[in-house]
Amino acid sequence: MRPLENKVIVLTRAEEQLKDGLDEFSKYGASVFTFPTIDIIPSDNYEDFDKILFLEQIDYLIFTSSNTVRFFTERLKALNTSIEFGKIKVVAVGAKTKEKCLTNNIPVDFVPKVFSGEEIAAELSQKNLKDKTVFIPCSELSRDELPAALKRLGAIVHTVPVYKVTLPKNDILDKNISKLNSIKPDVFVFTSPSTFRNFLTIMKIKEPSVYFKNYKVAAIGTTTKTAIEDMNVEVDIVPVEFTIKGLAKQVAEYYSKTDLREKQD
């Protein structure tokens, strides 16, 4: 029997990102209910983006997610322009981000071993960043942990939103709320702080600690874990590798160990 057989997983992501998670959790036998809590759309204003692209000498370009690659390349296409990457060091955070870069013919020079902002900066500190220009396309909700750490290393950092996170459309929300209320989940999976915060909004949850007390909660990484714990909700599962593949594996291992303990008892 597979470790997640008979387990119901509620997976919160953007609609276009749900398939990867569905496939990963299904491999372990889970019944997956996909519940999109975010919609990812282009930023309203690209003025700052265009200025940096055409006026600045960029030394480092840091992509923190596949979404940043997507909207970065879409903006280039809209401008009918391209970038000469020969003199630019490209940093891709995570295997999926690297894959998205390579798919879009963006060469990747460096993939950090750890995905948190402080750790990425620590790895980059081995290079001389003093007075180097670092361009970080990001979401409108991005945290300032990485830019702040890079500035402490002497870098000139430009963070520019290329996309924003909103709530899905009402017709999608109504259908999913109704279905969620009719099932008995075992685990709620959150893949970003936004997926968690929007879930609270969508479900009109006033006391998160009460709502989640009878469920297991899984977070894709430390940033998401912190956002959840800030609302007094216990996080039971965080993967070693901060990816949806790593998260599915960790949830499966959690239940494998739980089943083993129960058998031993």
Tokens of 201: 């909004």
Question: What CATH number matches the domain at 41-164, 3.40.50.10090, 2.60.120.560, 3.30.70.890, 3.30.300.180?
Answer: 3.40.50.10090
Q: What is the chain's mean pLDDT, rounded?
A: 90
Which residue in this structure is represented by tokens 């749900």? Answer: 18
pLDDT of 115: 66
Identify the DSSP state of 168: P
Asked if the model's pLDDT at residue 221 lies above 60, the reply is yes
The CATH class given to the 8-38+168-264 domain equals: alpha beta
pLDDT band at 196 (very low <50, low <70, confident <90, very high): very high
pLDDT in tens, 73-117: 999 999 999 888 888 999 998 888 999 999 999 999 988 877 667
pLDDT of 264: 42
Residues 6+ apart with CB under 8 A from 59: 87, 88, 89, 132, 133, 134
pLDDT band at 29 (very low <50, low <70, confident <90, very high): very high
pLDDT of 174: 87
pLDDT band at 265 (very low <50, low <70, confident <90, very high): very low
If one counts every other C-beta atom within 10 angstroms of the C-beta of residue 132, the result is: 19
| Distance, CA of 229 to CA of 123 (rounded, Å) | 27
Pairing of strands 187-190, 133-139: unpaired
pLDDT of 156: 94
Identify the DSSP state of 32: E
pLDDT in tens, 50-80: 999 887 789 999 999 899 999 999 999 999 9
Domain boundaries, the chain: 8-38+168-264, 41-164
Are 219 and 187 within 8 A, CB to CB? no
Asked if the model's pLDDT at residue 17 lies above 70, the reply is yes
Matching fold, domains 8-38+168-264 and 41-164 = yes
Burial class (CB in 10 A: 0-12, 13-18, 19+), 160: buried
Asked if the model's pLDDT at residue 260 lies above 50, the reply is no
Asked if the model's pLDDT at residue 261 lies above 60, the reply is no
Residues 6+ apart with CB under 8 A from 124: 60, 91, 110, 112, 150, 153
| Distance, CA of 52 to CA of 37 (rounded, Å) | 32
Report the SS3 class of residue 190: strand
Q: 196 in the Ramachandran plot: left (φ > 0), alpha (ψ -120 to 50) or beta?
A: alpha
Which residue in this structure is represented by tokens 């083993």? Answer: 260
Angle between helices 47-55 and 66-79 (to 10 degrees): 80
* Residue 32 β-bridge partners: 9
| Amino acid at site 110 | F
| Distance, CA of 181 to CA of 179 (rounded, Å) | 5
Signed CA dihedral, 71, 111, 219, 148: sign only: negative
| Residues of the chain above pLDDT 70, percent | 95
Which residue in this structure is represented by tokens 């899984």? Answer: 218
pLDDT in tens, 116-137: 677 788 777 778 889 999 999 9
| Distance, CA of 108 to CA of 90 (rounded, Å) | 5
Are 138 and 159 within 8 A, CB to CB? yes
- Report pTM: 0.83
| Residues of the chain above pLDDT 90, percent | 67
pLDDT of 25: 96
pLDDT band at 237 (very low <50, low <70, confident <90, very high): very high
Asked if the model's pLDDT at residue 258 lies above 70, the reply is no
